[in-house]
Structure 1
Amino acid sequence: MNTSRCLAALGLSAALSLSVSAEAEGAAADELFRELVEEEELGALEPLFSDGFESGNASVWNPGPGPTQNCPFTPAPGTGFFTLNSGLTDYVVRLPVGYDVENPTPRRLLVALHGCGDTALNFAGWAAAPFVLRPTLDYIVISIGGRDGQCWNLADATWVDAAIADVSSCFYVHQKEIVLAGFSSGGGLAYKMATDDAAAFAGVLIENSSLSSVVGSGNVDAVLGAAAWKIHIGHTARTGDDVYPIASVQADWTKMLNHAFPLQSRAIPGEHGDVATDWEGFLIPLMATWAAP
């Protein structure tokens, strides 16, 4: 496993993962991807819902309004990341390849929430817009700041909403193609927002976290039943995770499937801090055609 990326998942050093040369990181990613294809996947469910909206179909609905202001930015050389402020917190941004600021077209938005101890910039670099995807990146990335080096609180959902609204005023975000993503603590907040306000999101991508950790195991069925629609879910878990035990995670998955949510999940060997190529190799590709009804 690429040691610097594992440390990045634990949030120990933003500089560590971002200092790796492009050539070395690319080679390491290729090696990790070969390992990934040998790992066991638990399966997927893609039902056709009663309203005719089939899981996996890209949105045919109006993408919503385009940007309403000109937001100056200077991408960092080599990575393309830059920082904006929503009025509540900073957030890190990366635009898709070929995005035309003067004549923009609507793009999918990935909203990233790091784990405890990590930072917005670091998480953007190893998870939300990983090196191997950057040459062909076709979605807008924002990674929420305000809790760098810390864990998230559920009340921080207001910061996330503010960042989504702000980036939508600066760039053309397709309002039916907004996807939440989170690792560990960030995954808990992403799950909570995705179920509380499902109508606002196309889906949620989760690594090493759980829904029951934020709503309580006895409340999962009620939370799923109250969701505005059966939102897309992609989730990778580790069988040796001692923070989010696999038995609890899989119990959540069973309830999601029982409620006919389009869950795509896998449990693979490893511990809580292990990440491998989860994002570029499994999670991010899942969202390519996700859209809210």
Structure 2
Amino acid sequence: MKNRRKFIQLSAAMGMGAFLPLQFCSPKKEEGAEIAESETLISASKETLAAFGIQLYSVKENMAENASETIKSLAGYGYNQIEGFDGGKGIFWGMKNTEFKNLTDDLGLDFVSSHVNTYKDLDRIAGEAGEIGMKYLINPYVGAQKSMDDFKRIADDFNKQGEICKKNGVKFAYHNHGYTFVDFDGQIPQDYLLENTDPDLVDFELDLYWVYTAGYDPLEYLAKHPNRFKLGHVKDKQSGLDKSEPDGSTLVGTGVLDFPSIIRKAKDNGMEYFIVEQERYVDISPMEAAEKNATYMKGLEF
């Protein structure tokens, strides 16, 4: 009986150990070691972008001088995607679509998308884009309109243009500016376009700079319209400027936009392509800025 009583007492004591605070159950770590471990866990949980691109309009003067050499330099900076525009020689810069594709392929670049006037000769352009495996043709600008009726017609246009693109094996998207956020008697054109275009035919490219400049929170806007923004322009705004100042583009990561938070939210809501754009330069050349922006993007954790 005496041995049985001792056994019960010992078992109870051991059982109580399960309820003791952790500091009594394991060796105490030094404060510095705990902080280091915490930082390691946080770092391990973060992501970096596997791929990112640049809108060639950011270096438009260089493209006009020598498109091939400019693109080679951009690849050397670390970009692995490009988004084009029509600089007067077409989106293939005077080359055949297959020649341009060979150039980008040789440099390890994916020619993801291009801005183009989707109201002109779209069937031909979409055919050439689809032939070389481009993902998107993007309408970059429709301009300020006088009424919501104008934007309603534009929504119909986008659905039709989306059908043309789909028939040719490429997708259609619209890139916003600030004018689609102007309130027309309680209606926001950007919201109308999102809600009245067919998601199977029309995607959107979210220009983060213009969303912020128009007075909206990019994080809230991404959450409001999940899976509609498949592409995004990573464009920063210089601090110290009025929020509504239209001409305030600056080096990515040096301005007011919180890109780690925004890109995390964007990826969680279906964004697939992250395209750097800068349109204003102070004491730096466009190519120097492109290189610095690539460095930022390579090191960006979110």
TM-score (norm 1): 0.38
Higher relative contact order (Cα pairs below 8 Å, separated by 6+ residues):
1
